[in-house]
Structure 1
Amino acid sequence: MLTGRHYQNAYVTRDVDKAVAAFRENAEIRKLIEVEVPVQLWTPEGEGQGVQKLAFVWIGDLQVELIQPGAGDVLALYRDALPEGDEVKFHHICQLVDDWEAFMAKVDQEKFPVVLRGGTPGMLEFCYLDTRDWLGHYTEYCWMVPQRWAGMGGR
């Protein structure tokens, strides 16, 4: 299943600060947002909270998400993909969808399993489908209200 509008390429790393420095040196950054946040997540193994250090680097209309997983069992999806060193490693793409309920109804009929889900209902919701056998990477889907999209740097 591939639907929605592609807006993000995401990478995992052991050192977000080093990755951000490399983007500052090598890319024309339109907007940069850096946060370290605890997030409540659902996985097939259960629910829990994880802490991630994140950077959202906008280059034109493409957002590059840099993810440094921290504490929390629910972050295995990211931790298991980390490179041995502190470079960046491609992890997933993200597609923006307009209608979350309609999208999730389709997901229930698809062959790609949901491996991670989170967000704030009514504000921003996301899920990851395991599309690795098809595309070689995960595919994240995200929905958010227009104010949140603008706050994230979208246009």
Structure 2
Amino acid sequence: MFARPNSKYSQVAYVTNDVMAAARLFEETYGAPGFYHFTNMQPGGTIGNGPQLKIALARVGGVEIELIEPIGDGAAMFSDVLPGGSDLAIRFHHVAIRIDGPLENWEAYVASIDFDRHIVVFEGQMGDDLRFFYTDERATLGHHVEHVWMSPALSAQVTAATPTYPGAGAS
């Protein structure tokens, strides 16, 4: 599943009980260039009616860092690794494989996955711009894997909004 046409390792993701504090820690301690903050919550529900999440993104050396704060009881897939309590907690959660190009590339990628071996635990989409699913690879790898495709327009929008190191023009 990692070696497929038009796919590449693109992200490392952590869950936290406080996305703002986690972002500050990544900036101050690990030199992250800042974070693009957003939420999937919207009036009347969430994207795909899935768990409610606060999300922060940064890009370092071509790899995206994602911080996720699950909100409420409907986000067990994200919150089950957090220890509880009021102290800041940050735990590794998943890596992501991004599929580039047209939607047909996504469809070919999906068709190549053995879903009997790689169990889907969460999936969703946003119109014609986003497709994703998570497989539970904890028994073998110790974490989930997110599989994601974005339309070129959405990908450009997210890339433009996400603080990046090194910045444009750096060599």
TM-score, normalization: structure 2?
0.77
| Inter-partner Cα distance in structure 1 for 2:151 and 2:121 | 23
Tell which structure's C-alpha radius of gyration is larger. 2
Higher strand share: 1
Cα offsets for 1:123-154 (capped at 9, x unmatched)? 01110011111211101011011221122227
Cα deviation, residue 6, structure 1: 0.7
Which residue of structure 2 aligns with residue 145 of structure 1?
A: 151
Cα deviation, residue 32, structure 1: 2.2
| Inter-partner Cα distance in structure 1 for 2:56 and 2:92 | 14
TM-score, normalization: structure 1?
0.84
Specify whether residues 69 and 108 from structure 1 end up closer, same or farther in structure 2 by C-alpha distance, changes over 3 A only.
same
Which residue of structure 2 aligns with residue 107 of structure 1?
A: 113
Which residue of structure 2 aligns with residue 11 of structure 1?
A: 14
- Structure 2: gaps spanning 5 or more residues: 165-171
Which residue of structure 2 aligns with residue 122 of structure 1?
A: 128
Which residue of structure 2 aligns with residue 61 of structure 1?
A: 62
| Inter-partner Cα distance in structure 2 for 1:105 and 1:63 | 26
The aligned length equals 148
Native 8 Å contact 2:40 2:47 kept in 1: no
Which residue of structure 2 aligns with residue 79 of structure 1?
A: 79
Identity of matched residues, %: 32
RMSD: 2.1
- Structure 1: gaps spanning 5 or more residues: 42-47
Cα offsets for 1:74-96 (capped at 9, x unmatched)? x2100112233422100000011
Cα deviation, residue 25, structure 1: 0.8
